Structure 1
Amino acid sequence: MTRSIAEQTVEELGGPDSVLARQRRDHVEMDRLMDRYRALEDGEERERVLKETVQLVFSHAFAEETVLWPAVRRSVPDGEELTSRVEEEHQQINDLVAGIERLAPGEPEREEKVRRAFALVQEDIRDEEDLLLPRLQEAVDTAQLRRLGAAWETVRRTAPTHPHPVVPRRPPGNALLGVPLSLYDRIRDALGRRGSKAA
């Protein structure tokens, strides 16, 4: 029986550079940010935490879709089915967060969308850690997990940081559109950060 990557040591995951360890670190940070958001009252800090959460979720998911899921489809017998399920979750999160970004802070509809998006992110984390990633771990060796980790990290650091619901979930479409969208998102993020410091 496969073990969730949440229950394994870093060494069992292939070391700190393994894609499994990198995934888990991001998942832990996502959970921490979502908990922090829920604990805060309305205000600038809460909005900053939400933006940080969104940026992490979208850069993480883009790297999964570009690097990790193709490897799962190649290596795991039912990889197509497993990745399709996660891609559907990613699309639902994408649509919800696009809606969140169109609404003003404090609007009841916005808070409901945030709640639903966070629930889907947590469901996505469980699907990945308990089902999909252990299957990849069984199918490839530690050296491959580390190579995937390096490629995944490179893509994550340059990935779009906001929802783009019309972008395809799979390469090559997502990769081709990812470069200009990443530049756009990072300019938008930088302008937003500068604006909030000046305020």
Structure 2
Amino acid sequence: MGTATKEQDVVDLLLDQHQQIKALFAQVKAADGDAKRDAFRQLVRLLAVHEAAEEQVVHPAARDGAGEAVVAARLHEESDAKKVLSDLHDLGTDAPDFDVRFAAFERAVLQHAAHEEQEEFPELRRTTDAARLRRMTGAVKAAEAVAPTRPHPAAGESALGNMLAGPPLALFDRMRDAVSEWSRSGRG
């Protein structure tokens, strides 16, 4: 199943997003100047909403099948990634050491995605009926709609933490995104 499938399940959605993340990594590496900055902004946004939704919906559901140790390891990786992504965001794509730090970040994110795809997602599919997996797609999309658009490492990785801190942070991020876009468009 792909993105065109009306009855897409949550694992297919996340696998599609992993492919989008890989494509954005390639775009950032291939670009420079404004194009690089814009591709990086897209990557930051996708990673922020993707991880928040996984933390709220997917990881709690995967605990039964994949086990606490697998989920805890993914949450630890996500915590580390948020910190690095926040640092890269603050550093900016024009910084002299951005590319080196970005390459290390890419390796860590792709390794994290591989762990999810090999350890967590198969167990989620094995232990969760197909109708619930399809319903979880809607839950992930809803979580992404109210998720922050930037990493906030201090917010934590728990589902409860995301539900409590996520909406106010998302509102702030989305306002900041709108003002930034307005300023870049020349209307400011």
- Where structure 2 has 5 or more consecutive residues not aligned to the other structure, the ranges are none
SS in 2 for 1:118: helix
Q: Aligned-residue CA RMSD in angstroms?
A: 1.8
Amino acid at match of 2:106: F
Residues 1:53 and 2:43 aligned together: yes
Residue 131 of structure 2 corresponds to which residue in structure 1?
Answer: 143
Match of 1:110 in 2: 98
Distance in 2 separating the partners of 1:16 and 1:193: 34
Q: Does residue 21 in structure 1 map to residue 9 in structure 2?
A: no
Give the whole-Å Cα distance in 2 for the aligned partners of 1:164 and 1:183: 13
Q: Deviations over 1:104-148 (max 9, x none)?
A: 432223322222221111111111112210111111110110111
| More deviation, 49-58/107-116 | 107-116
Question: 1:17–1:150: 8 Å Cα contact kept in structure 2?
Answer: no
Q: How many residues align?
A: 185
Report the counterpart of residue 36 of structure 1 in structure 2: 27
1:3 is matched with which residue?
none
Aligned to 1:63: 53
Aligned-partner Cα distance in 2 for 1:196–1:164: 24
Shift of 1:103: 1.6
| Structure 1: unaligned runs, 5 residues or longer | 1-9
The letter for the 2-side match of 1:189 is: D
1:86 has 2:77 as partner: no
CA 1:43 to 1:16, structure 2 compared with 1: closer, same or farther past 3 Å?
farther
Q: Which structure features the higher share of helix residues?
A: 2
1:185 aligns with 2:176: no
Map 1:106-185; keep pairs closer than 5 Å.
106-185=94-173
Q: For residues 120 and 180 of structure 1, what CA distance do their matches in structure 2 show?
A: 28
Q: Indicate if the aligned counterparts of 1:15 and 1:21 stay in contact, CA closer than 8 A.
A: no
* Aligned equivalents of 2:83, 2:99: Cα separation in 1: 15
